[in-house]
Chains A and B, each alone.
Chain A
Amino acid sequence: MNVKLASQLVLPLLLLLLGGCSGVEPWVKPYQRAHLADPIMSFSRDPVSDSFHSHVYQVREGARGAEGGHGGGCGCN
């Protein structure tokens, strides 16, 4: 049941994605990215501080990895 459902959903999605690769138009144009370019819209505004923060948790918790939030994807610098 799950396999059938997955195949029904995944295959069309894959085809859609593959087909879409050739002609994806940015739906948020560069001139619409003023808000995203604001320094407050950074996942890691101060790397030196965020590294320390992640480090504190990594030492005291069992989980590790995918701290995430770093990087962003704005393209508006």
Chain B
Amino acid sequence: MGAAVGVTKHLNLSRSIGLSFAFLLSAPLALLLSTRPLDAGVLAEDRADALYHSYDGGGVEVTGPSILVRKGDNKNFSGTLNYYVDSISSASVDVITQGSPYSEQRTQWSGSVDYLHADTTMTAGYTYSNESDYQANTYDFSISQSMFGELTTVTLGYSRGFDDISSNVDASINESADHQNYHASLSQILTKNLLLSLNYDVITDEGFLRNPYRKVYVLDDFNDPNSLANFNTAEIYPNTRTSNAVSANFLYYLPYRAALKFGYRYYVDDWNITAHSVDLRYTHPLSNRWLVDVGARYYQQTHADFYADVFDRPDQQNFMARDKELSEFKDYTLGFGLTYSLLKKSYGFIDKATVNFRYDHVWFKYDDFSDVRAGGPPSQAPLYEFDADLMQLFASIWY
């Protein structure tokens, strides 16, 4: 029972760890960068967004709101505040094989302030994320400089995260992990119809990086080709990780008023994961009021050095993992979005208002992670795959 509960929370923390990384990246950099002005010489527009999001795939359901408000003084300052919730209900493949379904909630608050001086914008931000066994505090700072007649914008950023990790089943676990993210980007007007954005991130992690609940899958008898296997051995991770990611994104204005975006990212880390992702998006206004987006994305990665679907012995290696996010796999996404403008002209203090719907479908196909839900010898287990639905419904106003 204890083991079952442990694994129940294992997946809980599995998400937590994922979220903490996401936290480091998506909160500081996404909020910091994606809400930043188009160039360093202009503050972003005042706007407010209320979003409801839903993820359903692989036995995991995640829903919740995200509220983002940006307000400036129309001179030098602009600030953002974001409230975000993930309500998680999980019966994923790991939970089914190692525990029992669980529900949990993660809440995140973040805020940032932009200060504009001439062609320079400085941004400072803070993010706090909380769930039952994981708390994360992240601080970030960036500076953007516009130059060459605003043809070019260079941004340098740094964020530092401090995470506290505990266990809901093992009170002795009280660990920490630190994260640092160095960011550099260059935005460039190439022609009167073409924009380029180059991004480079170095991320270093140090501390407790493994999942205290997850187990590796170990053969009962590696001399027997039809041996069964067990989840009795905890994962062992290195205490450090350093990764490099670089991306190039192009955005092209088509002659009949539409936009085409192409992006490519290359990733490599010292756990020996190499990844490539490519995404394509097409935006087409149907009238003054309707806007349609369609998009596709492809992602692939190699597995970490110390990952294995099945280990021969409990002490086979210094480091051992069976996290499917560290395995070799591919995923494919197809999606679309609809935007409807509610106002033909400004109304009171509201300049513009839209309602938006976005849907994406993602297929995950694993090359060395088996679906062992049926039991039996691991050598006979099929490779795991699943697909997921992503939905977003949100309203935005500009004021």
Contacts and interface: CB of A to CB of B under 8 A. Distances in A.
Interface of A: 24-30, 32-33, 35-36, 38, 40-77
Given A40-B283, A74-B195, A76-B38, A64 B25 contact: yes
Given A28-B192, A47-B31, 18 more contacts: A36-B189, A40-B253, A43-B249, A49-B337, A51-B26, A51-B34, A52-B51, A52-B66, A56-B55, A59-B22, A61-B331, A63-B277, A64-B22, A64-B243, A69-B249, A71-B34, A73-B186, A74-B189
Contacts of A45: 283
B34 to A, nearest CB: 4
B39 A72 contact: yes
B68 A48 contact: yes
B93 interface: no
Contacts of B259: 38, 40-41
A77 B34 contact: no
B197 to A, nearest CB: 6
B25 A58 contact: yes
Chain A: interface secondary structure?
A: loop
B167 interface: no
Given A43-B261, A58-B22, A61-B275, A68 B30 contact: no
A71 B155 contact: yes
Contact of A38 (B203, B253, B360): B253
Given A44-B34, A51-B30, A59-B22, A68 B192 contact: no
A64 B245 contact: yes
B201 A66 contact: yes
Given A36-B192, A74-B189, A65 B243 contact: yes
B199 A67 contact: yes
A70 B36 contact: yes
Interface residues of B, number: 95
Contacts of A68: 185, 197-199, 247-249, 263, 265
A32 B150 CA distance: 13
B25 A54 contact: yes
A26 B195 contact: no
B262 to A, nearest CB: 10
B37 interface: yes
B18 interface: yes
B34 A70 contact: yes
A56 B192 CA distance: 34
B258 interface: yes
Interface stretch (B96-104, B368-376, B390-398): B390-398
A76 B307 CA distance: 48
B199 A72 contact: no
Given A49-B394, A73-B188, A65 B66 contact: no
A61 B291 CA distance: 30
Closest 10 CB pairs of A and B: A75-B150, A73-B187, A26-B149, A65-B201, A65-B245, A68-B199, A66-B245, A59-B18, A63-B267, A70-B33
B227 interface: no
Given A40-B257, A73-B195, A73-B197, A46 B356 contact: yes
A36 B325 contact: no
B146 interface: yes
A61 B325 contact: yes
A56 to B, nearest CB: 6
A36 B253 contact: yes
A62 B247 contact: no
Nearest to B27: A51
A74 B18 contact: no
